[in-house]
Amino acid sequence: MKTVPQALAASLVAVLPLQAGEADIVAAEAVRSGETWRFEVTLRHADEGWDHYADGWAVLAPDGTELGYRELLHPHVAEQPFTRSLTGVTLPDGLDRVTIRAHDSVHGWGGAEITLELR
């Protein structure tokens, strides 16, 4: 038998939204355009508003060097997942893959990453 506080807590859990965790990269594409690259990246995050939202993503070399960064300037509460691009990224000669990772305003870097083979 549940006590009143237990029943109240159970009913509150049922109606409260899940808190946003880390931002996840769910898809990415790299397209060469002359000497630079364009990245199309789709990410998912349960944005809660200005206090907790996905605020950027980065293109990383295999050694962790940041090669490009796309800042996200506002929450995307009603638009999940969403895709944004970054153009004009210069990659070192001979680089054959990059990793894309997301950042959110509370957890920082984390969540699912994607590694792209460059062609």
**Confidence band of 7 (pLDDT split at 50, 70, 90):** very low
Candidates 59, 71, 66; CA nearest to 31 is 59
**Confidence band of 115 (pLDDT split at 50, 70, 90):** very high
* pLDDT of res. 19: 54
Residue 109 has pLDDT above 50, yes or no: yes
**Confidence band of 78 (pLDDT split at 50, 70, 90):** confident
* Domains observed in the chain: 19-117 (2.60.40.10)
User: What is the mean pLDDT of the segment spanning 90-105?
Assistant: 94
User: What is the mean pLDDT of the segment spanning 55-74?
Assistant: 94
Q: pLDDT, tens digit, for every residue of 12-52? A: 433 444 456 788 899 999 999 999 999 999 998 876 778 88
Asked if 102 contacts 82 with a C-beta cutoff of 8 angstroms, the reply is no
